[in-house]
């Protein structure tokens, strides 16, 4: 049986999946480019499982709770566990003149509170947000390990975040 979640291997979802598989060794992790892709193709994965964080929010603004109810017929919640996210940071590259900020939708409201002038660009993962930030962004909320240490970054804030993870059976 497969455990479907967000990839690549550097994501918090991948780390949470690896943790879960330690106590469920029959599961094999399958990575996907986005949770949206997973939700759109659930029928292809019947009989497998889905791992999603409770803080997940879709690019369309749907929360974990809204998706939970929307997919009641397609998904059965079978387990849950706590697993801490990789340390998060709000970083700025002050040498960039733009106000572009890359962020996962779940962190967009937090970014708006802290940098109200930011032009927010949503990304499917914090890893993708880091990559886009490196290309042309000024601000990012991402995993600290996703950014090179040699950059002249201004770190506005750091967080350690425990997360509730949901495991669903795909019907």
- The pLDDT score that the predictor gives to residue 58 is 87
At residue 103, what are phi and psi to the nearest 5 degrees? -160, 150
Same domain, 11 and 74: yes
Q: Tell me how many domains the chain contains.
A: 2
Stated as kind and residue range, the H or E segment containing 75 is strand 75-84
DSSP labels, 77-125: EEEEEEEEPPPEEEEE-TT--S-EEEE-HHHHHHHHHH-TT-EEEE-SS
At residue 113, what are phi and psi to the nearest 5 degrees? -65, -40
Same domain, 72 and 96: no
Same domain, 77 and 104: no
Using CB atoms within 10 Å of the CB of residue 165, give its burial: 0 to 12 exposed, 13 to 18 middle, 19+ buried.
buried
CATH number of the domain at 35, please.
3.40.190.10
Find the domain containing 104 and state its range: 88-159
For residues 131-147, average pLDDT? 97
The predicted model scores a pTM of: 0.83
Same domain, 113 and 54: no
- The pLDDT score that the predictor gives to residue 138 is 98
The answer to whether 168 touches 53, Cβ cutoff 8 Å, is: no
What is the distance between the alpha carbons of residues 2 and 105, in angstroms, rounded to a whole number? 26
Residue the block writes with tokens 């497998």 = 48
Q: What is the pLDDT of residues 51-90, one digit of tens each?
A: 999 999 888 889 999 999 999 999 999 999 999 999 999 9
Band (24; pLDDT cuts 50, 70, 90): very high
């Amino acid at each position: 049986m497969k455990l479907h979640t967000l990839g690549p291997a550097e994501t918090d979802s991948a780390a949470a999946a690896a943790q879960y598989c330690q106590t469920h060794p029959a599961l094999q992790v399958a990575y996907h480019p986005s949770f949206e892709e997973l939700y759109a193709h659930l029928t292809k994965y019947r009989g497998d499982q889905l791992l999603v964080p409770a803080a997940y929010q879709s690019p369309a603004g749907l929360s974990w709770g809204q998706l939970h109810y929307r997919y009641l017929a397609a998904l059965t919640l079978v387990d849950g566990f706590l697993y801490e996210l990789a340390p998060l940071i709000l970083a700025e590259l002050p040498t960039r003149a733009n106000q572009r900020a890359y962020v996962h939708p779940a962190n967009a409201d937090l970014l708006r509170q802290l940098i109200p002038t930011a032009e927010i660009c949503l990304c499917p993962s914090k890893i993708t947000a880091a990559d886009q930030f490196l290309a042309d962004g000024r601000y990012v909320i991402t995993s600290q390990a996703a950014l090179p240490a040699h950059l002249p970054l201004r770190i506005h804030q750091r967080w350690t975040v425990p997360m509730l993870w949901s495991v669903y059976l795909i019907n």
